[in-house]
A and B are shown apart, each in its own frame.
Chain A
Amino acid sequence: MKLIFYYILGAFSLLLVSCKNNETLPYLGQTVVENGKEIHHKVGQFSHYNQDSVLMDNSSLSEYVYVADFFFTSCPSICPKVAKQMLRIYDTVQDEPMVKLVSFTIDPKRDDVKKLRLYADNLGIDHNKWYFLTGDKEATLELANTYFVAAFEDADAPGGFDHSGKILLVDKDGHVRSFSEGTDPENTPKIIEDIKKLVASYKAENK
């Protein structure tokens, strides 16, 4: 009888442990195993200027968890909706220094550093919290793929570009850990929760 009791207790605690493991965010994209080690998908390398003319690359963000999207300032279609959700996320992470926001323009020809600065100013955000990045167009479109964002030039699309309005959560090592559809406001609370979870997991590690 006692044995059964311990057995149930053991099974129950195992269940608890496994539930706790489920709380860590998944690694999105393909995971390959090399020499017995799991290698998770990483976002591509970039080297872009931000709205204050500072050259930034992946290493500039290696100390931060960041939320990324792809947009362009003259975008007439989905961008305002996505920007609104980015702004909503921005409002919730303002007091969390570990989190940054990054918006890549897919229209660098029109969106130079000056235009991005003007855009950021009119959005009313802190330039050290939310970066607007511009760089080589082809490189940016390719980079978008590594963030699971489809982006390409299309003369028939409104504004000349077709792209999806995904918002992505990237960890300190460049792994994509969560995403939401920026066009759907009901998606946003979930990614805000995931940002908190990811930040909490880093804080727990440092203890």
Chain B
Amino acid sequence: MTKGLNHFIKCFLGGLLTISVIFSCNDSPYMQGKRLYLANCANCHMEDGSGLSALIPSIQKSVYLGKPEIACILKNGLRDTIFKDSTFLVREMPAFKKFSATEITNIVNFVNHSWNTSFKETTITQIEEAINICQ
């Protein structure tokens, strides 16, 4: 009897371990945000958020991490131009007008969770407030 119980406990613990390994492999708890990021942002900012030298800013070390302005940038885009000797390069981040406050919250949480070392979850209310201010 005790042998059977022993066996059961072993199997149970083994199963638990397997499940926890599977879940820990899904590295981010913000899967919706990750999906949106991969579909809309990763093309330029790269999957790992590293950007492209000075041409496309890295999100990993962005000053906007953890700040409400990040919602405004997503919603309204950013236009920045590098000038030199009568020529210029436009660095433009398109505006993602189509994103709802929920979607922005998901992306912001994914990005912050991935690269902001002092991560704090952002709520939809906070994002809505931020969007109201930036408009």
Say yes or no for A36: interface residue by CB 8 A criterion: no
Among B47, B84, B94, point to the contact of A118 (Cβ < 8 A).
B84
B52 with A80: CB separation less than 8 A: yes
The 8 A CB mask of B88-99 against A (1 = contact, 0 = none) is 111000100000
Residue of B nearest to A73 (CB): B89
Among A74, A78, A84, A118, point to the contact of B52 (Cβ < 8 A).
A84
Q: Once bound together, how far apart are the Cα atoms of A124 and B53, in whole Å? A: 7
- Interface size classification for chain B: 10 to 19
Contacts of B82 in A (CB 8 A): 118, 122
Q: Once bound together, how far apart are the Cα atoms of A74 and B47, in whole Å? A: 20
**A83-B52 CB under 8 A given contacts A78-B43, A114-B85:** yes
B54 with A122: CB separation less than 8 A: yes
Q: How many residues of A contact B (CB 8 A)?
A: 20
CB distance from B64 to the nearest CB of A (A): 19
Contacts of A124 in B (CB 8 A): 53-54
B43 with A119: CB separation less than 8 A: no
Contacts of B56 in A (CB 8 A): 80
Contacts of A197 in B (CB 8 A): none
A87 with B87: CB separation less than 8 A: no
B87 with A115: CB separation less than 8 A: yes
The 8 A CB mask of A100-131 against B (1 = contact, 0 = none) is 00000000000010110011011110000000
Contacts of B73 in A (CB 8 A): none
Contacts of A196 in B (CB 8 A): none
B85 with A87: CB separation less than 8 A: no
Residue of A nearest to B47 (CB): A185
Q: A80-B46, A121-B84 are in contact. List 5 more A-B contacts (CB 8 A).
A: A73-B89, A84-B52, A87-B52, A122-B53, A124-B54
Enumerate chain A interface residues (CB-CB to B < 8 A). Answer: 73-74, 76-78, 80-81, 83-84, 87, 112, 114-115, 118-119, 121-124, 185
List 24 A–B pairs whose Cβ atoms lie within 8 Å, in order of A's numbering.
A76-B44, A76-B94, A78-B43, A80-B46, A81-B43, A81-B46, A87-B53, A112-B87, A114-B85, A114-B86, A114-B87, A115-B88, A115-B89, A118-B82, A118-B84, A121-B84, A122-B53, A122-B54, A122-B55, A122-B89, A123-B53, A123-B55, A124-B53, A185-B47
